[in-house]
Structure 1
């Protein structure tokens, strides 16, 4: 029996020992075609292992067709990928020829039947891989280009067709080439994604992202795996289209495995990609299917800060799904999230606060867990320390929900002067969302008269907020907060001394102003008149309040008649007194 030759398992393997390795591509192709023609004839006469040889014959016919197409390509011999592919293909055909001879002359074959079946299966698999590589190279179109040896990246403003061709070339080299081809292709791909923000969509369309994801599980080449993780992460973070291609290509599972067991650098990049993928609600549910909840929680417990920041972002994303929320609680995520409010990076604190806000709004079970872990104290500490509007918004949303569901929380907040003072500052200087949340707390908390006097400076801002019809509910919370502050006598006097506040109030009462429900300014007028101060009443009358309220009474606006009675009380008494004397 002739000695067995080692069968290559990949077209990228070296063939330096082959006699044809030093031949030119043209010479190698000629040898391949000659041997292929002989094999197609000789295989037909083989009477043993007929099924397996029929499969090989079919593959050889496909190879003949592909080689014919290769010969028709004007620049095929210039392509570097063929310097490995063609010699490897010739070596495989020689192996097929050897097996053909053995099966044609079984009388001189000393090997076992199972061994021959195994050899035939191996050579068929090798031939399939090489045939696939050749077809991939042909489909890419790179063999028809005169610059097929080295393709440079198209410059800014290049045609979409040129960029698409460049991307196809990169992925062809990535899939067919050896380790050096893969390295250079990945480096070029990453450079393209960094320099051209719009390239990601074209990469997801023209490139084989599924093969890129396959490289995430490559254990033999750490550099290739690291670059592949970076490329996948960049695609997942670039656009909705490229993110969806990564997800649909099965990228989430390998990325979670990297977070679980990869190096520190790989974990960070993989966590970034998972955060981006789970930002889409339709993708977030899949984390639980890959057992990713425990992976993300463990990273937040013991990972490096950059990785934790992205992992907690992914946890925030998946916390939007009810079933996953309970999995988070079971895995011990709540204590970790609460701790991150004060110990993580600024970005991690914001994401943790966002997640806590989601959980507080998800039922009494989660609120109890958060309070049990001293979540309120950590929220208050972050509220005092943070300068980020987004973080403050998440913190306030969580605090609002906790205060509405717990009398204990409400008492703690009501008695916290620093907290009340900061709410005042946010009403005066925060964005409209922070103003609304702060006003909502002031209107709902049982604030002492002393603290109400301390924050009287925000009354002008509350009146101004009443002029805004958006966002929904803003006018109501601004009104109730202002009425609460007007329960203090000194605040009422301070309000009417501010001419701008009084004039704004009159404009809100005016029927021509249809941006506000009239019951809100009527509530404020009633609040000013509640203490019975003649000075306050006189200032409102001087500003024209009587005429505005009278029109509202005539239109039978709810609450207008009662306000009119308070507003006109002294005037009616003086009329009756003068009539009696006369």
Structure 2
């Protein structure tokens, strides 16, 4: 094996005969010389990044066999060399070899050795386990069903020196499995350590932990445990210091937690709103969607809505077209909240929206016109819109080449036509095809809504409670 690699592990020539190399490795393992077996296995690990996939596939059963041998039969150094080699191989070929290692029976042996090891062997075993669960999803289930979650949490509770980061990385990967998340709630310290894994270690691992927290937060009964364990603070920290992908995951996870009425105020009071403003202004479309959804949740509380409206108005006055469209989209949603209508009027949003009806960006005009259409259902907002000069702009928009803009303008003008104070000001367009078509459409929608409401009123309590499946 000495001819295959030098002491520094540099890449060998491409004309290396890998079949001869593998036969030499098999011969080394079969001999009685334990030192030679250890050396050959370490050299195989160093060469793994250059070896063909088929060679590594054939090596896995040999390495797993070495790993599964009783400790009393072999010096622990061969276990460490085998775990080290499997750790290196698991990183290669897009996780296919990691899955092969997991399905070859390595996991139970690694967990068994963990319980009776210490020092460098224990560290190497944890690194190997980390790579197995990182590069192959199926291995997470294998580890969990082999009792790995309990072992990892137990070791974390014991606070092993210098090993906590590996254990937290393993836990964050395991927690992406639904089975593990269900069990984590009932495992002593499981949720607490999941939160800790979102706060420490490599960003990839922290992102996985944040994703797992969000998935666990979908279970309503799990949210109190998450919040009590510090999930809000951990996710907010990731929103501040994470890379672009991590911020998206953390923002989404925190949004899941904030959807519970008990946590709307704590999330906002912890400083979430400015961080979601950054997402709204960022380049990621998904970030804008997440921020919009969370703002619609947080704005249920009036004091939050005031702060959110101030930020949205500031964005609308800026130069970022994408952010302006997103801010108008949020206002579109919030304008449907009856308890916020006075807040939006007081925020100076309406004259700014009217001005943006003539913005050069089509997406901005579309979102703004939609928000204005929604605002026009309220009498006080209609007056504010008219006073801000919206009517002539909306009349001109009836001729716009974009259907959505024409529809939004027509919807607003139909609502104006039903207001005795404003009806005369839009008399010039009541006979236009766009106006007339929208008027008929709205009449049909309202008639349908009345019918549905009437049907619901006729459903008695007995109808609902008489079905055993609803009890």
- TM-score in terms of structure 2 length: 0.71
Question: For 1:456-535, what aligned pairs fall within 5 Å after superposition?
Answer: 456-459=313-316, 464=322, 480=333, 488-497=346-355, 502-505=359-362, 509=366, 522-527=369-374, 530=381, 532-534=384-386
Question: For 1:115-264, what aligned pairs fall within 5 Å after superposition?
Answer: 151-153=3-5, 156=12, 158-159=14-15, 162-194=17-49, 196=50, 199=51, 201-207=53-59, 209-216=60-67, 217=69, 219=71, 220-239=74-93, 240-264=95-119
Q: Is 1:547 matched up with 2:406?
A: no
Q: Please say if residues 204 and 245 of structure 1, whose CA atoms lie closer than 8 Å, have aligned partners that are also in contact.
A: no
Paired with 1:290 and 1:179, the residues of 2 have a C-alpha distance of: 30
Task: Compute the displacement of 1:385 (Å).
Answer: 4.3
Cα pair distance change 1:409/1:463, threshold 3 Å: farther
Q: Secondary structure at the match of 1:502?
A: coil
Paired with 2:106 and 2:29, the residues of 1 have a C-alpha distance of: 18
Paired with 2:41 and 2:62, the residues of 1 have a C-alpha distance of: 12
Paired with 1:234 and 1:540, the residues of 2 have a C-alpha distance of: 70
Paired with 1:247 and 1:322, the residues of 2 have a C-alpha distance of: 19
Paired with 1:444 and 1:537, the residues of 2 have a C-alpha distance of: 31
2:121 is matched with 266
Paired with 1:185 and 1:283, the residues of 2 have a C-alpha distance of: 27
Paired with 1:238 and 1:487, the residues of 2 have a C-alpha distance of: 59
Cα pair distance change 1:306/1:426, threshold 3 Å: farther
Cα pair distance change 1:524/1:300, threshold 3 Å: same
1:367 pairs with one of 223, 226, 234: 223
Q: Please say if residues 282 and 323 of structure 2, whose CA atoms lie closer than 8 Å, have aligned partners that are also in contact.
A: no
Task: Compute the displacement of 1:481 (Å).
Answer: 6.4
2:250 pairs with one of 387, 395, 405: 395
Paired with 1:300 and 1:482, the residues of 2 have a C-alpha distance of: 49
Paired with 1:410 and 1:189, the residues of 2 have a C-alpha distance of: 55
1:411 is matched with 265
Task: Compute the displacement of 1:465 (Å).
Answer: 6.5
Task: Compute the displacement of 1:574 (Å).
Answer: 4.7
Q: Is 1:326 matched up with 2:194?
A: no
Task: Compute the displacement of 1:243 (Å).
Answer: 1.2
CA deviation vs aligned residue, 1:284-326 (integer Å, no higher than 9, x gap): 2222332111111123334458643343333333334444333
Paired with 1:247 and 1:538, the residues of 2 have a C-alpha distance of: 66
Paired with 1:478 and 1:401, the residues of 2 have a C-alpha distance of: 21
CA deviation vs aligned residue, 1:150-186 (integer Å, no higher than 9, x gap): 64349656247x1233133223212325123213312
Cα pair distance change 1:171/1:292, threshold 3 Å: same
Q: Please say if residues 243 and 276 of structure 1, whose CA atoms lie closer than 8 Å, have aligned partners that are also in contact.
A: yes
Gaps of 5+ in 2: 429-471
Paired with 2:125 and 2:226, the residues of 1 have a C-alpha distance of: 29
- TM-score in terms of structure 1 length: 0.59
Q: Which has the larger radius of gyration?
A: 1
Cα pair distance change 1:573/1:407, threshold 3 Å: same
Aligned-pair RMSD on alpha carbons?
4.0
Cα pair distance change 1:428/1:360, threshold 3 Å: same
Question: For 1:101-120, what aligned pairs fall within 5 Å after superposition?
Answer: none
Paired with 2:201 and 2:385, the residues of 1 have a C-alpha distance of: 53
1:426 is matched with 279
Paired with 2:58 and 2:307, the residues of 1 have a C-alpha distance of: 68
CA deviation vs aligned residue, 1:26-68 (integer Å, no higher than 9, x gap): xxxxxxxxxxxxxxxxxxxxxxxxxxxxxxxxxxxxxxxxxxx
